[in-house]
Amino acid sequence: MNSFGFKAKKALEKSRETIAEFMNAEASEFIFTGTATEANNLVLKGHAFKEGKSNCHIAVSSIDHDCVLLSAKWLEQLGFRITILPVDKYGLLNLDALEKILEEKVTLVSVVHGNNEIGTVQPIEEIVKRCHEHGALFHTDAVQSFGKLAIDVKKTEIDFMTVNAHKLYGPKGIGGLFKRTQKELEPLIHGGGHEFGLRSGTENIPAIVGFAKAVELRKDEMVPEAIRLTRMRDKLIKAILEIEDTYLNGHPSQRLTNNANFRFSYIEGEAVVLSLDTEGIAASSGSACSSKSAEPSHVLLAIGLRPEEARGSLRISIGKYNTEEDIDYIIQVLLKIVKRIRAISPLKH
């Protein structure tokens, strides 16, 4: 290897160590992928192809991201056994349903850690424990929680965990997968054998170094930022729930520090989004990742909302560049907008 190649390799391995250490993994247990979407695809499909149709049975939660759910549905079309696990009205996994399906021999369970739409955070340790008692592997999509909640993969004994950089202010287009060393997956991309043979193709070193830098910066700010965001989120939720016929989607306390998701009777969330936008506030009425679709969000339907209730929902995400003043401004503007739209809403009259 020439000195230029050596320098790049050193940067790659140092970045891998930084990110692995942050989740208490070994460097050899972390592989870089193009995105979290790719990592999730790799776990589900890589597991299915390794196990084969006769043995494989994958269970995924009904509120997982589309890249998990659609991978599962695609595998089902190919003849693999797939089970979709229900959640309760807060978006927490139904543990009785999990227990019941585990009795039937499941090889892999995949449940999103912090949901990107309603913010609900799953009791991951409890779920892993139950999976392992029945010999099932456990994967979590931790894209939204990584860097917001402390995750120790040794302590929780997670088998696979998906992360990416841009949710912790790193570059877009770089993701990664924690994979406990001995847990086998079939690679989806074949070639030069990069990333321990699991993901061939020349690594994107600038994005990888950026990912590690974002993790490094996150180390010190994670705890104070979690406290600050929780305070601001709760202030926002409390004020908005004072509007009549308004509800909170997701769990009241077991939720991501940055997420608030409301349901307003009689109005369309999309109308609120457009009005907020003119006031300089970016929000969304569905999942940002699938906002091209006008269909009500599958997550909101999975927690039992009717389509019109799902369409009357609004998600506000806050982050490190928001201040207390921003929260006051959002509250003031949102109160005004909901009142104005309701006054002319045919659904209200």
Ligand X SMILES: Cc1ncc(COP(=O)(O)O)c(C=O)c1O
What are the residues binding ligand X (CB under 6 A)? 35-37, 65, 67, 112, 116, 141, 143-144, 164, 175, 289
How many Cβ atoms from other residues are within 10 Å of residue 282's Cβ? 10
282, 333 Cβ separation under 8 angstroms: no
Which residues sit opposite 93 in a β-bridge? Answer: 87
> Nearest 5°: phi and psi at 248?
-100, 130
Looking at the Cβ atoms of 288 and 347, the one nearer to ligand X is 288
Q: Shortest Cβ distance from residue 223 to ligand X (Å)? A: 22
d(CA 312, CA 267): 5
d(CA 349, CA 345): 7
Q: Shortest Cβ distance from residue 88 to ligand X (Å)? A: 19
Q: Shortest Cβ distance from residue 167 to ligand X (Å)? A: 7
SS3 225: helix
Using the CB atoms, write b or e for 194-208: b if 16+ within 10 Å. Answer: bbeebbeeebbeebb
d(CA 78, CA 72): 10
Looking at the Cβ atoms of 258 and 275, the one nearer to ligand X is 258
Looking at the Cβ atoms of 29 and 64, the one nearer to ligand X is 64
Looking at the Cβ atoms of 119 and 342, the one nearer to ligand X is 119
Looking at the Cβ atoms of 198 and 337, the one nearer to ligand X is 198
Q: Shortest Cβ distance from residue 34 to ligand X (Å)? A: 8
Closest among 313, 298, 256 to 62, alpha carbons compared: 298
- Selecting among 56, 67, 131, 289, the annotated active-site residue is 289
Q: Shortest Cβ distance from residue 110 to ligand X (Å)? A: 11
- Give every CB contact of residue 95 below 8 A, 6+ residues apart in sequence: 126, 127, 130
Q: Are strands 137-141 and 160-164 parallel, antiparallel or unpaired?
A: parallel
d(CA 69, CA 63): 8
Looking at the Cβ atoms of 41 and 275, the one nearer to ligand X is 41
Q: Are strands 30-33 and 259-264 parallel, antiparallel or unpaired?
A: unpaired
Q: Shortest Cβ distance from residue 214 to ligand X (Å)? A: 13
CA 348 to chain centre: 34
Q: Answer positive or negative: Cα dihedral of 277, 281, 283, 289.
A: positive
How many Cβ atoms from other residues are within 10 Å of residue 247's Cβ? 15
Q: Shortest Cβ distance from residue 268 to ligand X (Å)? A: 23
d(CA 110, CA 61): 7
Looking at the Cβ atoms of 162 and 275, the one nearer to ligand X is 162
d(CA 111, CA 146): 14
Is there a catalytic annotation at residue 289?
Answer: yes
Annotated catalytic sites, by residue? 289
